[in-house]
C-alpha cells in the first residue's frame, strides 16, 4: 500500500495524495486503508521513509568504487535522477522529523547521509567542516533537482550542461575548502 501511495504521489503530487485517492487507486474503500496506516500523516511518513531508503540505495550504489570528483558526480547525478523520477515521494521527505533513532526515517536518512559522507572522504574535509559541506551538497543537489522537477528552468541553456557546471563548481569548492586544491 505504501508503494502504491508513493507511486500515486509521484503522479499527482504529494499535496494531491489523499486517503480517498489511494483507496480508489487500489480499488478498496477508504476505511480499509486504516488497517495499514493510522491516517494521512502516517502514510506520508511511510512514503518519506521509502523515498529516503530508495534514494540511499541509488546514491550509495552510484558512488561505489569512485572517489573525489567522480564520486561527487555520481552521487549528484543519482540524487537528481531520483528526484526527477520520484518528485512526489521525494517531497514527502522535506521537513519530516524522525520520532527516534529506530524510526525507519532515521535509519534511511543515516544511509543517505553516509553515501554523501563517503563522497566527502575523497576531499579530506576537516571533521569540523563536514556538516557544512554536507549542507552545501544537499542545498545544491536538492535545489537544482526540485527546481528542475517543477519546470523551474525556463531559459534556453541546456539543463544537463548547467548541472555539470554545478558539479564542477562543487568539486572546486570542496577542493579549495579541503586545502587539496588551489583557487
What phi-psi label fits residue 37: left (phi over 0), alpha (psi between -120 and 50 degrees) or beta?
beta
Q: What is the pLDDT of residues 148-171, one digit of tens each?
A: 999 999 888 899 999 999 999 999
* Contact assessment for residue 108 and residue 56, using Cβ atoms and an 8 Å cutoff: yes
Q: What is the DSSP letter of 182?
A: -
CA-CA distance, 77 to 127, in Å (whole number)? 25
What's the pLDDT at 182?
37
Within the chain, which residues score under 70 in pLDDT? 179-183
What phi-psi label fits residue 156: left (phi over 0), alpha (psi between -120 and 50 degrees) or beta?
alpha
Q: What is the DSSP letter of 18?
A: -
What's the pLDDT at 181?
44
Q: What is the pLDDT of residues 69-98, one digit of tens each?
A: 999 999 999 999 999 999 999 999 999 999
Fold classification of 46-179 is Tetracycline Repressor; domain 2 (1.10.357)
Domain boundaries, the chain: 46-179
CA-CA distance, 139 to 149, in Å (whole number)? 15
CA-CA distance, 139 to 35, in Å (whole number)? 37
Average pLDDT, the chain: 94
What's the pLDDT at 157?
86
Amino acid at each position: 500500500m505504501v508503494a502504491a501511495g508513493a507511486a500515486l504521489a509521484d503522479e499527482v503530487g504529494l499535496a494531491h495524495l489523499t486517503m480517498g485517492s489511494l483507496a480508489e487507486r487500489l480499488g478498496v474503500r477508504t476505511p480499509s486503508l486504516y488497517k495499514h496506516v493510522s491516517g494521512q500523516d502516517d502514510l506520508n511518513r511511510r512514503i518519506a521513509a521509502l523515498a529516503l531508503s530508495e534514494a540511499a540505495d541509488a546514491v550509495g550504489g552510484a558512488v561505489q568504487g569512485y572517489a573525489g570528483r567522480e564520486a561527487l558526480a555520481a552521487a549528484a547525478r543519482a540524487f537528481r535522477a531520483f528526484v526527477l523520477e520520484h518528485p512526489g515521494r521525494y517531497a514527502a521527505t522535506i521537513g519530516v522529523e524522525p520520532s527516534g533513532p529506530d524510526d525507519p526515517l532515521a535509519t534511511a536518512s543515516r544511509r543517505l547521509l553516509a553515501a554523501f559522507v563517503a563522497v566527502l572522504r575523497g576531499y579530506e574535509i576537516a571533521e569540523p567542516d563536514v556538516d557544512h559541506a554536507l549542507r552545501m551538497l544537499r542545498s545544491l543537489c536538492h535545489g537544482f533537482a526540485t527546481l528542475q522537477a517543477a519546470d523551474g528552468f525556463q531559459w534556453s541553456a541546456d539543463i544537463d550542461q548547467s548541472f555539470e557546471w554545478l558539479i564542477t563548481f562543487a568539486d572546486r569548492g570542496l577542493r579549495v575548502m579541503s586545502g587539496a586544491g588551489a583557487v
